[in-house]
Copies of this chain bind each other. A is one copy, B any other.
């Protein structure tokens, strides 16, 4: 095994690293080769870390030797508050083209609940190799730092140690501290965007979902050559679940692209705060479901006035599937599209046949996992644009809360059970998991 190690940015590899590890050979002030299987121990990694060379330098530790990853796993599908366990396993040595990741933050999304329950169509791999029983490591979204890689003629051109990456394939297991993954399953974040970790950890699933839904059915992105916004009627979008992470990205992208939004949310004690928050992101109008469905309020008439004769609403985005979904669809103009990307109400989508027959409604779904399989290059371009918008402050990440995982496996499992309980009760911030150094 020969592992090329490049120090990130302008940081040189400190001389004492070579001094205390005989199997490191120097190639340049910022590049060295680690030869053989002799471990680069944590003995020197710790002082490197202290000297401020960041996680990427600390990461030298264990690249060629045993490293333990801590992971949130399940052995059997079931109630998310009950079946999650914490587990430790040894990472193998890197294979060709594999990358050693240290996860900085692992995100929890609503769909993860369904993954744990076993009702989500894409599942994490069942790992026979990491414990006495087969286990699945949870986590679909997150941000990680590259600690090293094993050259294969490609990976060394795509990544350098210290790069931040997001997941480019589903269900890679982001709720763990470390992982060995093929480089092709990762998407680099542009280093000049200088995203902070919370931004990076929430960039790969929800904002792309919003971008695609605003682009692929009724093209609203003015940079799209097929955009319907250019010199034509002002375009509008209506969405439910507008305070979801996707909903907030929709609001902000729509504002950037000159598209009006009508946003529906659940009523709650702090509804005025929520309305103000969404408006601060660029929401044109925010209504509770009750306000939207109420006949007394003449909401239909109001919405038609908002859109006006110079406007047109051909797109509705649905992640709920409740009563309001049909009403959203009824507000669409001829040839409208209803795009469903979630079903939080857990009921069938009930739509009058007449909308399909006479108003040319099309009801479709959107799932990023399907889209990415057929659009690998478009995805890279979109991710760069999203990172830029985020860096420019035009796309704010959703409100997040970082949950620190530490202590014994029992303590971690108990903490995860509490997190799952809170998520099922709803209305919290988006939770990001962070493994404390041991």
Interface residues, chain A, with chain B CB atoms under 8 Å away: 121, 318, 321, 326, 340-343, 348-367, 370
Q: Of all chain B residues, which has the CB nearest A361?
A: B365
* Given A121-B358, A358-B121, A370-B360, A321 contacting B353 (CB threshold 8 A): yes
Q: How far is the CA of A81 from the CA of B326 in the complex (A)?
A: 32
What are 10 inter-chain pairs, A to B, with CB distance below 8 A? A326-B348, A340-B356, A343-B357, A348-B352, A349-B350, A349-B352, A350-B350, A351-B351, A360-B365, A363-B364
What residues on B are CB-neighbors of A121 within 8 Å? 354, 358
What residues on B are CB-neighbors of A360 within 8 Å? 364-365, 367, 370
Q: How far is the CA of A363 from the CA of B357 in the complex (A)?
A: 10
**A349 and B340 contact, CB distance less than 8 A:** no
Q: How far is the CA of A313 from the CA of B365 in the complex (A)?
A: 19
* Given A360-B370, A370-B360, A355 contacting B365 (CB threshold 8 A): yes
Q: Of all chain B residues, which has the CB nearest A345?
A: B353
Q: Of all chain B residues, which has the CB nearest A319?
A: B353
Q: How far is the CA of A342 from the CA of B363 in the complex (A)?
A: 16
Copies of this chain present in the complex amount to 2
What residues on B are CB-neighbors of A356 within 8 Å? 340, 349, 363-365
- Which of B352, B359, B361, B365 lies in contact with A353, CB distance below 8 A? B365
Q: Considering residues A343, A349, A361, which has the most beta carbons from chain B within 10 angstroms of its beta carbon? A: A349
- Which of B341, B358, B363 lies in contact with A363, CB distance below 8 A? B363
State the Cβ distance, A97 to closest chain B Cβ, in Å. 30
**B363 and A367 contact, CB distance less than 8 A:** no
**A354 and B343 contact, CB distance less than 8 A:** yes
- Which of B318, B349, B354, B367 lies in contact with A358, CB distance below 8 A? B367
Q: How far is the CA of A366 from the CA of B359 in the complex (A)?
A: 10
Q: How far is the CA of A185 from the CA of B343 in the complex (A)?
A: 46
**A364 and B365 contact, CB distance less than 8 A:** no
What residues on B are CB-neighbors of A364 within 8 Å? 356, 360-363
**A365 and B370 contact, CB distance less than 8 A:** no
What residues on B are CB-neighbors of A350 within 8 Å? 348-350
**B352 and A343 contact, CB distance less than 8 A:** yes
State the Cβ distance, A438 to closest chain B Cβ, in Å. 39
* Given A326-B348, A348-B326, A357 contacting B353 (CB threshold 8 A): no
**A367 and B362 contact, CB distance less than 8 A:** no
Q: How far is the CA of A367 from the CA of B357 in the complex (A)?
A: 5
What residues on B are CB-neighbors of A348 within 8 Å? 326, 350-353
State the Cβ distance, A246 to closest chain B Cβ, in Å. 12
Q: How far is the CA of A342 from the CA of B357 in the complex (A)?
A: 7
State the Cβ distance, A346 to closest chain B Cβ, in Å. 9
* Given A348-B352, A349-B352, A366 contacting B357 (CB threshold 8 A): yes
State the Cβ distance, A79 to closest chain B Cβ, in Å. 20
Assuming A121-B358, A342-B357, A360-B367, what are 13 further A-B pairs, CB within 8 angstroms? Answer: A343-B354, A348-B350, A349-B353, A349-B356, A350-B350, A353-B365, A357-B367, A358-B367, A358-B370, A360-B365, A361-B364, A362-B364, A363-B364
